[in-house]
Structure 1
C-alpha cells in the first residue's frame, strides 16, 4: 500500500484529502507544519509527498530542498501561489508536479496516480525471483520453496528496495534513508542486523550468502 504524506497548514483541507486518498486505497498522513513533516519523514518511508508552499516556520520550497538532500520521493506542490516564478522554482528545487489551488479531488487523484505510476511502475504485480525465493512486491508477500516467509515491516521494505534495485551496489546511507525515512537517525548497525535477519530467512547458507551480498566499503546488493 502506497503511503502519502500531506503537508498543509489547512487542517480541514488535509482531512478531506486524506479521507479521499484512503477511500482509493492509499495510506495518508497529514502534517500541518514543516516541523511535523520532518518528524514524520524521519520515522517513516513515504511513496509521495503532497506539499503546500505557505507553511509555518519554513516554506514548502525550503522543506523540499532539505528533503532532496536525503530522498528522491516524488513531490507534488499544491498551492494558491500560481505565478510562473513559483512554478519554475518548484521544479528547479526537485518538485515533480505542481497543482494550483483550488483544485478538484478528482484532478488531484489523477495526478497522484500518474506520478506514482511513473515513479514505481504500473499496478500490475511486481514479482522478483531468486533461487527458491519469490518476492511479490505488490502484495508484500514472500515465499521460499513454496512456503510463506514471515517478514517484519522493515525487513520487507529493505528486501523490496534491494529487489527493485537488483544487481546494483547500494550504499548503506541510501538504504537507511529509503527504508527508515529521509531524516532517520538509524545507525548502520541496525541495517546490518536487518540484513542478517533477511539472510537467515532467505538464504540456504546465511553465513555464505549467494544473493544478498555485502559490497566492501559500499553497502549491499541483491545479486540475481
Structure 2
C-alpha cells in the first residue's frame, strides 16, 4: 500500500516514515502543502496522512484540492486539538483526525481502519471530453483552449458528475451533495444548473452528448460522445 505523508516537521515526518516503512508500507513524503498535492497527483497514493499547518498550501487547502478529483482516504495528524479545527478538517473532506502527540499503535490502527474501506476507483485529475478539458485538482476548465468560467455551484455539480463517470447519479444525490440535504426536492435548481453547464460545455446544449439525462432518475456523465 502506498502512503503519502505530508508534514513540515522533519522529525515527525521521519518518525512516521520509519514506522510505516517497517510495517511494509510504500511511503512517499512531502514537507509542504504544494509538494503534497504534486506528489498525490504524480503517485496516486492509497492513503494520505497530513498535517494542517504546512507552508505553501495549508492542510485544509490540500484536502479541498484533493477532494476535487479523488476520494483517497485522508488522515489528518495535527497538534491542533480544538474542536473547530477538527470540524473544519472533516468538513473539508478528511476522513479521520488524530491529535499530536500520538502513539505509533494508534496511528497504525487509524490507518488500518481507513484502508479497510472499499478502495476508490483509479482517479485522474484531468478529464477530457469533446473539446473540453477539466483539471479537477486545479479547478480549471478550458474549451477549445479558452478558459471557461464556472460558478462555484456549477463547478461542484460538474465535479460530482465527473467523479461518477459513466454511473447514474440520482437527482437526490446531486441535490444533497451540491446544495445540502434540505434541498432534495428542489429539482428546479438542478435542471437550471444542468442547463447552464450544457450551454458552457456541450457543442449542442439542446442535444447533449456528455451530460446526459436519465429520465425520471437523474444524470450521467460520459466522456465518450453519445449519439
Aligned equivalents of 1:120 and 1:65: distance in 2? Answer: 19
Aligned equivalents of 1:161 and 1:52: distance in 2? Answer: 24
Residues 100-115 of structure 1: matches in 2 within 5 Å?
100-115=99-114
SS at 1:4 equivalent: strand
TM-fit CA distance, 1:25:
1.4
TM-fit CA distance, 1:161:
4.7
- Relative contact order: is structure 1 or structure 2 higher (C-alpha 8 Å, sep ≥ 6)? 1
Residue 146 of structure 1 corresponds to none
Q: Is the 8 A contact 1:74 1:119 kept in 2?
A: no
Residue 173 of structure 1 corresponds to 127
Structure 1 residues 35 and 17: CA distance shift in structure 2, 3 A: same
Q: Is the 8 A contact 2:65 2:137 kept in 1?
A: no
Q: Which runs of 5+ in 1 are unaligned?
A: 122-159, 163-169, 175-181, 185-213
Residue 77 of structure 1 corresponds to 76
Q: Is the 8 A contact 1:41 1:183 kept in 2?
A: no
Q: Is the 8 A contact 2:68 2:137 kept in 1?
A: no
TM-score, L = length of structure 2: 0.54
Residue 7 of structure 1 corresponds to 6
TM-fit CA distance, 1:173:
2.6
TM-fit CA distance, 1:38:
2.0
Structure 1 residues 53 and 161: CA distance shift in structure 2, 3 A: closer
Aligned equivalents of 1:36 and 1:161: distance in 2? Answer: 21
Residues 74-223 of structure 1: matches in 2 within 5 Å?
74-120=73-119, 161=122, 173=127, 183=137, 217=210, 218-219=222-223
Aligned equivalents of 1:29 and 1:12: distance in 2? Answer: 15
TM-fit CA distance, 1:22:
1.3
SS at 2:90 equivalent: helix
Q: Please give the per-residue CA displacement for 1:5-45, whole angstroms capped at 9, x wherever unaligned.
A: 00000112111111111111110111000121122122111
Aligned equivalents of 1:161 and 1:55: distance in 2? Answer: 27
Aligned equivalents of 1:44 and 1:72: distance in 2? Answer: 14
TM-fit CA distance, 1:219:
4.4
Residue 211 of structure 1 corresponds to none
TM-fit CA distance, 1:57:
2.2
Aligned equivalents of 1:34 and 1:76: distance in 2? Answer: 15
Structure 1 residues 88 and 45: CA distance shift in structure 2, 3 A: same
SS at 1:65 equivalent: helix
Aligned equivalents of 2:24 and 2:81: distance in 1? Answer: 30
